[in-house]
Amino acid sequence: MSSLIGNKLKIGLFGESHGSHIGAIVYGFPSGFEISKDELNKFLSRRKTGQNKFTTQRKETDDYEIVSGYYNDRTTGTPFAVIIKNNDMNSKDYEQLKYKMRPSHADYTGHIKYKGFEDNRGGGHFSGRITAPLCVIGGIALQILKSKGIEIYAHIKSLYDIEDVPIEKVSIEEQKKVCEKTLAFFDDEKLEEAKILLENIKKEKNSVGGIIELAVHGVKAGIGDPIFDSVESRLSSMIFGIPGIKGLEFGCGFGCSKMKGSLHNDPFEIKDSKIVTTTNKVQDKEILEYKGIVFGEVITGINILKDIGAGIRNFFGGRSGGYEKELLAARTEALKEMEERAKDMGANAIVGVKMDYEVLGADNGMLMVTCSGTAVVI
């Protein structure tokens, strides 16, 4: 049985749902990292049971105790261990599982694998209860990642047939705050719909599934290793360790099977001396075809009378109406020229538009306005 995963950072889980304790051991935490207990407790409070009618009613405080690898409020770099005591257990409710095993659970599989010696109370080692110490480790890992400029935020993408706003359309500030809601929906109307749905499903004594969508900000290019240790490979192995997970997508996921490569593949561009990927969507419309780069250029002379007026305004403060009109006219003409060139290529939209300004001439008497973008068909 393998409840251990990781390479540079190894995580092991132990315990059972109705055992005395559950816990985790981590090998590879950096030494000298100061854990914010307040931040960790705030993170763990999101998992606490019984805080509303939509969570499990098992009453567990989930108070954790760090028993190794931590000294003087900092990690030591040696194996880090945390335990959580189980309190609210009613094992009698699970007596019948010896003879009447639940579908979509590990009851039968565990019984066969361990020849009847498994602890079946509350699902034993296969229970979602085991994710409690995993959340402690995850909360600490989030702090370490944040110190390196990496932040992770998530929301409920869908619950049964209720769809939330895609995370890519929401600001990072909104992504940070969504976890404070009863249910992590960006759209408050959808949140209320979800509450009603769950109340009705509960009355039916039934259940529904959902999709969690998350975004990782600040990851540098080049992490992971070829084939079996790619980012997707490693994350998939870990995420499927969470009970109940039945599918995982990266980017468009299975949706890419209905796309052409020109739509699915995000093109690269250089921005602020860095290589970044650009979007393949325009205002909820998908890009069907890339036609190429287009430009628009306008060179205009700068009038001496406007120069004098601008200088006076600059000296005394205020804005130069003469310069502003000249610049606006040049910018409009450059954009119009770029638009005409895109039409000639058979495009009906332009993405990734960028404007540049440059003063030319021996006496700096000319202004060049250049705009560029990618001509596309949507």
Q: Specify the CATH number for the domain of residue 144.
A: 3.60.150.10
* 316 — pLDDT class (breaks 50, 70, 90): very low
Would residue 168 be called left, alpha or beta, if left means φ above 0 and alpha means ψ between -120 and 50 degrees?
Answer: alpha
Any idea which of 7-11, 321-325, 331-335 has the lowest mean pLDDT? 321-325
- pLDDT (0 to 100) of residue 304: 41
pLDDT mean over 150-171: 93
Question: What is the C-alpha to C-alpha distance for residues 47 and 45, in angstroms, rounded to an integer?
Answer: 5
pLDDT mean over 344-367: 78
145 and 2 co-located in one domain: yes
CA 318 to chain centre: 44
5 and 129 co-located in one domain: yes
- pLDDT (0 to 100) of residue 308: 42
- pLDDT (0 to 100) of residue 262: 67
List the one residue out of 252, 248, 284, 262 whose CA is nearest residue 376: 262
pLDDT beyond 80 at 199: yes
Asked if the structure places residue 290 within a domain, the reply is yes
Give SS3 for 330.
helix
Instruction: Give the domain-ending residue among 95, 116, 149.
Output: 149
Asked if the structure places residue 99 within a domain, the reply is yes
pLDDT mean over 149-165: 94
Please calculate the CA angle 203-206-208 and round it to the nearest 5 degrees.
115
pLDDT digits (tens, 9 = 90+) for 88-125: 777 777 777 777 888 888 888 888 888 888 888 878 88
CA 76 to chain centre: 30
pLDDT mean over 244-253: 90
pLDDT mean over 172-180: 91
Phi, psi of 89 (to 5 degrees): -130, 135
CB atoms within 10 A of CB 80: 23
Instruction: Give the domain-ending residue among 114, 129, 149.
Output: 149
User: What's the domain range around 320?
Assistant: 261-377
Contacts of 83 (CB under 8 A, 6+ apart): 21, 22, 23, 64, 65, 67, 133
What is the domain-level CATH number for residue 364? 3.30.110.70
- pLDDT (0 to 100) of residue 319: 44
Asked if the structure places residue 12 within a domain, the reply is yes
- pLDDT (0 to 100) of residue 364: 64
pLDDT beyond 60 at 285: yes
| 35, 143 Cβ separation under 8 angstroms | yes
Asked if the structure places residue 283 within a domain, the reply is yes
8 and 139 co-located in one domain: yes
pLDDT beyond 80 at 188: yes
- pLDDT (0 to 100) of residue 24: 96
268 and 143 co-located in one domain: no
Q: How far is CA 367 from CA 158, 301, 319, 358, 370, in A?
A: 51, 6, 18, 6, 10
| 299, 360 Cβ separation under 8 angstroms | yes
DSSP 8-state secondary structure symbol assigned to residue 187: S
Contacts of 187 (CB under 8 A, 6+ apart): 164, 165
Instruction: Give the domain-ending residue among 149, 178, 199.
Output: 149
% pLDDT > 90, the chain: 38
Tokens 């540098």 sit on residue: 220
Asked if the structure places residue 331 within a domain, the reply is yes
> pTM for the full model?
0.72
Q: Which amino acid is residue 99, in one-letter code?
A: Y
- pLDDT (0 to 100) of residue 280: 60
* 341 — pLDDT class (breaks 50, 70, 90): very high
Any idea which of 58-62, 203-207, 217-221, 279-283 has the lowest mean pLDDT? 279-283
4 and 137 co-located in one domain: yes
Answer with the residue of higher pLDDT: 288 or 12: 12
Any idea which of 77-86, 117-126, 137-146, 313-322 has the lowest mean pLDDT? 313-322
* 327 — pLDDT class (breaks 50, 70, 90): confident
User: Average model confidence (pLDDT) for the chain?
Assistant: 84
Look at the chain and report how many structural domains it folds into.
2
